[in-house]
Amino acid sequence: MSETYRQGRYIPKNPSKYIGDITKIRYMSSWEYEMHKFLDNNPNVIEWASEEIAIPYLKPTDNKIHKYYVDYYVKYIDKHGNIKTELIEVKPAKQTKLSRSKKTATQLHENITFAINVAKWKAAQEFAQKKGWMFRIITENQLFK
């Protein structure tokens, strides 16, 4: 499945599992839409939320504290019957590494975005660890298996 531009409001089939305001669930891509459906319909997911948790991070481009709204908070039962909690970010694989673009301006822009994302992910990792949770990044390689 390719990353096509799709956005809208999501109406959960299992609203009792959603933590937050169910009237404000949105998706900004087809990938987020697919993730919403997966979390909503998966019987092992106890509760979930989309962009409900704000994590402060130091933005490297201005050296100021900003808020990072991680894509997902998920509490679920793993394959061993243990309850786990994760913060999950959904990103295209190409945005999880330094750019190799041949165009200098494109490479600069993509690498600045990557540096900002790394700062966000570091803050999310630290936030999650303090709570005994996990943080991970999911790309199309995991999302569409």
Active site residues: 32, 71, 91
> CB of 46 within 8 A of CB of 77?
yes
Using the Cα atoms of residue 96, residue 100, residue 106 and residue 111 in order, give the sign of their dihedral.
positive
List the structure tokens of 58: 């130091």
Secondary structure in 3-state letters for 71-122: CEEEEEECCCCCEEEEEEEECCHHHHCCCCCCCHHHHHHHHHHHHHHHHHHH
